[in-house]
């Protein structure tokens, strides 16, 4: 393999630049030319490829976002879009791809591989930490620490004004951000998609707390919880407890930005190297990840379809520590 390309797709996550940097420098280390594809699959379709040198990724490991830009591409999900993308790869004589992204990125990658046989190795770049085949995804640790810092600040106000705060964190169908934030932030309640917590349960916990002279509460809500988002849940609880002084805080996209933590920089660098070495060793249609500190390559179809189970010990910890 003489020439490869790397791109980022879907939602950005802190550490993507560290991964790009590792891919570029690993390719150069092995004497392989490397191109960067700007704006994900959309850029591939349009031929937005630029040759990368070692200097191209200087002073990037500490930066959030992605220097290659990112986009979601409806065009690539159509056969015609993938055909145009393949033609661009032929034009630039690209023999393999490193795809940095999440579920949607890998769905497109496996379709592309099935149709055109282009070897693709994926790097799990998403703050949600919801991909099967790796214990941690690139950007997750930073997102948790960003959210936790916000919750610590909200706790000060909740305590000062004796209020109940409903704090919504990202996670789509996953409680992986919400759970460590709830434990680390001392939250009294956490609502995540993986476990059933009813509005009745929330009301009961609040009333039990007040009976013990507790005056403030933090309730962490994963945006994909089955009971609804934080605003909806707060409104329903308020209906049952009209005297409750409640506020809603939606942390939103602040969780995606910022300089990556040391853990994310290290993980992204390891995975970037593993992606290039995987391509050079014949890996294709797989994601590189670490499970129990061991490098593993998981088929894209498994990363897309298999459910990553949240540790039930964490659920129990919230129950015990909120007493």
- Residues annotated as catalytic (active site), given as ranges: 128
Distances in Å between the Cα of 243 and the Cα atoms of 208, 212, 237 are 15, 17, 10
8 forms beta bridges with 100
Token pair 């459910």: residue: 307
100 forms beta bridges with 8, 123
Please indicate if the annotation marks 186 as binding a ligand: yes
Please indicate if the annotation marks 171 as binding a ligand: yes
CA dihedral 227, 232, 234, 237 (to 10 degrees): -60
Please indicate if the annotation marks 103 as binding a ligand: yes
Please indicate if the annotation marks 202 as binding a ligand: no
Please indicate if the annotation marks 16 as binding a ligand: no
Please indicate if the annotation marks 255 as binding a ligand: yes
User: SS3 for 276-309, per residue?
Assistant: HHHHHCCCCCEEEEEECCEEEEEEHHHHHHCCCC
Q: What backbone phi and psi angles, to 5 degrees, belong to 297?
A: -115, 115
Please indicate if the annotation marks 3 as binding a ligand: no
Please indicate if the annotation marks 85 as binding a ligand: no
Please indicate if the annotation marks 203 as binding a ligand: no
Distances in Å between the Cα of 260 and the Cα atoms of 72, 172, 185, 265, 311 are 22, 21, 20, 6, 24
Binding residues for substrate: 126-128, 163, 170-172, 223, 247, 253-256
Binding residues: 11, 21-25, 72-73, 102-105, 126-128, 155, 163, 170-172, 186-188, 212, 214-216, 223, 247, 253-256
Binding residues for ATP: 11, 72-73, 102-105
């Amino acid at each position: 393999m003489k020439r490869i390309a790397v791109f980022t797709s879907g939602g950005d996550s802190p550490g993507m630049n560290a991964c790009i940097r590792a891919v570029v420098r690993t390719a150069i280390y092995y004497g392989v030319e490397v191109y960067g594809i700007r704006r994900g699959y959309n850029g591939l379709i349009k031929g937005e490829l630029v040759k990368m040198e070692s200097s191209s990724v200087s002073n990037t490991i500490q930066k959030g976002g992605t220097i290659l830009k990112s986009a979601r591409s409806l065009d690539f999900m159509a056969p015609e879009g993938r055909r145009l993308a393949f033609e661009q790869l032929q034009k630039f004589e690209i023999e393999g791809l490193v795809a940095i992204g999440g579920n949607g990125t890998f769905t497109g990658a496996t379709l592309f591989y099935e149709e055109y046989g282009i070897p693709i190795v994926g790097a799990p770049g998403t703050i949600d930490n919801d991909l099967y085949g790796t214990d941690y995804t690139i950007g997750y640790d930073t997102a948790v620490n960003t959210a936790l810092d916000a919750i610590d600040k909200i706790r000060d106000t909740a305590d000062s004004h004796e209020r109940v705060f409903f704090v919504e964190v990202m996670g789509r169908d996953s409680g992986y951000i919400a759970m460590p934030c709830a434990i680390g932030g001392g939250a009294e309640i956490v609502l995540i998609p993986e476990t059933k917590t009813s509005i009745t349960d929330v009301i009961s916990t609040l009333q039990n707390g007040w009976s013990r002279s507790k005056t403030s509460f933090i309730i962490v809500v994963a945006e994909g919880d089955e009971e609804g988002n934080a605003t909806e849940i707060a409104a329903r609880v308020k209906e049952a407890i009209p005297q409750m002084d409640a506020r809603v805080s939606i942390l939103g996209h602040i969780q995606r930005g910022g300089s990556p933590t040391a853990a994310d920089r290290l993980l992204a660098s390891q995975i970037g190297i593993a992606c290039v070495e995987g391509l050079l060793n014949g890996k294709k249609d797989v994601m590189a990840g670490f499970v129990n500190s061991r490098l593993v390559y998981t088929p894209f179809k498994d990363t897309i379809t298999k459910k990553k189970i949240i540790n039930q010990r964490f659920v129990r910890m919230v129950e015990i520590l909120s007493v």
